[in-house]
Amino acid sequence: MTARVRNVGYNFSCFTQPKLLLENNWQALVIKRVEDSVETTLDRFYSSDNPDDVSQKMLILLANKPNLTLKEIAQMLGSSEKFIWDKIGDLESLDKVRKQGLEYRIVGSIIEGWGQKTKDISFVKSRRTQLINVLPKFAFAVVFLVLSAITYFYANPPLRTFNCKFNAGELFVQMPSLLEENESGTAKISIQNISKAKLSSLSASFNSKNIESKI
C-alpha cells in the first residue's frame, strides 16, 4: 500500500513540475509564439500596407513613443500639423491607430510591442537638429531682406525736405536725399501763403557745387 502511494506521488510531481515553470513566463511565451507565427503580417502592418512613407514613419514612431499628441508627431517628423492630421486620420479609419484624448497610439499591444523591438526611429529629427537645419534658411532670408531693403533705398531714396520762410509765407522743397553720379532726380516745390494778398509770382534760386538744377 505504501509503495503504491509513493508511486502515485512521484508521477504527480513529475507531471506538475513543467506546469509550474510555464506559469512563471507563460505570457511572454505566448506573445513570442504569436509574433513568430505572424511576423510577416506584423511587418506588413508597418510597411507595405501603408501607401506612403510618412504613414509608415508615424506607425513606427507611435510604436516606440506611444501617447504622442498631433503637435508632437508633427514636430518629430518635421511636417505641418495639417499634413499629419490628414495622414493620421487615414490610419484611424484603417483601425491602425486609436486616439485617447489628445494622444495617439498603435491599436493592439502585441503589434505595438513588436514594433518597439524591430523598428528603430533613427529618422526622427531632434529639436536641435531641426533648429540647425532651419538656421541656414533663416540666415539666408535675413540677408535677402537686408539686401532688398538696401537695393530699394538706393533705387528709391527718400525725399529730404527743405524750407525757406519769407514775408508772405513759406517755401518747401522736397528732393531726393541721395543721387549717384550722373543720376537725375525730381524735386517738388510747394508754397504756403499766410498773407491776405495773392501771390502772383515767386523767385527762388538753388545753388549746389555738385548738383545741376533745372527749373
Residues of the chain scoring pLDDT < 50: 1-17, 20
pLDDT at 1: 41
DSSP 176: E
Helix/strand/coil for 79: coil
Q: Is there a contact between 45 and 111 (Cβ–Cβ < 8 Å)? A: yes
- Determine how β-strand 188-193 pairs with β-strand 169-176: antiparallel
pLDDT at 51: 67
pLDDT at 200: 77
Strand order in the sheet with 159-166: 159-166, 169-176, 188-193
State the amino acid at position 70 in one-letter form.
L
State the amino acid at position 45 in one-letter form.
F
pLDDT at 97: 93
pLDDT at 36: 72
Q: At what angle do helices 2-37 and 39-46 cross, to 10 degrees?
A: 30
